[in-house]
Amino acid sequence: MDKSNVKGFLEFVYDFYRSMKAHEITLVYEGEITHQITKAFTSLTESNMAKESEANSVQKKVFHVMVECLQNISKHADSFGSDDFLFAGRGIFMVSKGKQDYHVTTGNVIENDKIEELTEMLDHINSLDKEGLKQLYKSQMKEGRLSEKGGAGLGFIDIARKTGNKLEFHFLPIDEGSSFFLLTSSVSRNA
Amino acid sequence: MEVIKIKGTDDTPNIILDKENGIFEISGRSLPEDVTTFYEPILNWLDDYQEEANSKTVFAFKLVYFNTASSKLILDILMKLEEMHENGKEVLIKWYYPEDDEDMEEAGEEYADIVDVPFEQVSYTL
Round the CA-based radius of gyration of chain B to a whole number and report it: 14
Q: Please name the member of A68, A71, A152 whose beta carbon is closest to the beta carbon of B72.
A: A152
Beta strand pairing status for B23-30 and B14-18?
A: antiparallel
> What is the CATH number for A46?
3.30.565.10
* Interface contact flag, B65 A162, Cβ < 8 Å: no
Chain B within 8 Å of A142 (Cβ-Cβ)? yes
Query: B99: domain range?
Result: 4-124
Q: In chain A, which residues have their Cβ closer than 8 Å to the Cβ of B72? A: 141, 144, 146, 152, 154
Per residue in B73-107, pLDDT (tens digit) is 999 999 999 999 999 999 999 999 999 899 999 99
% residues pLDDT > 90 (chain A): 69
Whether residues B67 and A142 touch (CB distance < 8 A) is answered with: no
User: Which residue has better confidence, A84 or B125?
Assistant: B125
Q: Is B89 helix (H, G, I), strand (E, B) or coil?
A: coil
Model confidence, pTM: 0.89
- Show residues of chain B in contact with A60, CB under 8 Å: 65, 101, 103
Range of the domain at A30: 3-188
* Residue contact B72–A146, C-beta within 8 A: yes
Contact flag A71-B33 (C-beta cutoff 8 Å):
no
Question: Using an 8 Å Cβ cutoff, are B42 and B17 in contact?
Answer: yes
**Cα–Cα distance between A161 and A142 in angstroms, integer?**
17
Distance from CA of B78 to the nearest CA of A (A): 11
For chain B, how many structural domains are there in total?
Answer: 1
Domain tally for chain A? Answer: 1
pLDDT > 90? residue B6: yes
In this predicted structure, what is the pLDDT of residue B65? Answer: 95
CATH number where B76 lies: 3.30.750
Q: Is B77 exposed, middle or buried (0-12, 13-18, 19+ CB in 10 A)?
A: buried
Of all residues in chain B, the one with the smallest CA distance to A55 is B100
- pLDDT, tens only, A128-163: 999 999 999 999 888 876 565 555 579 999 999 999
Chain B within 8 Å of A130 (Cβ-Cβ)?
no
Question: Quick one: closest CA in A to B103, which residue?
Answer: A162
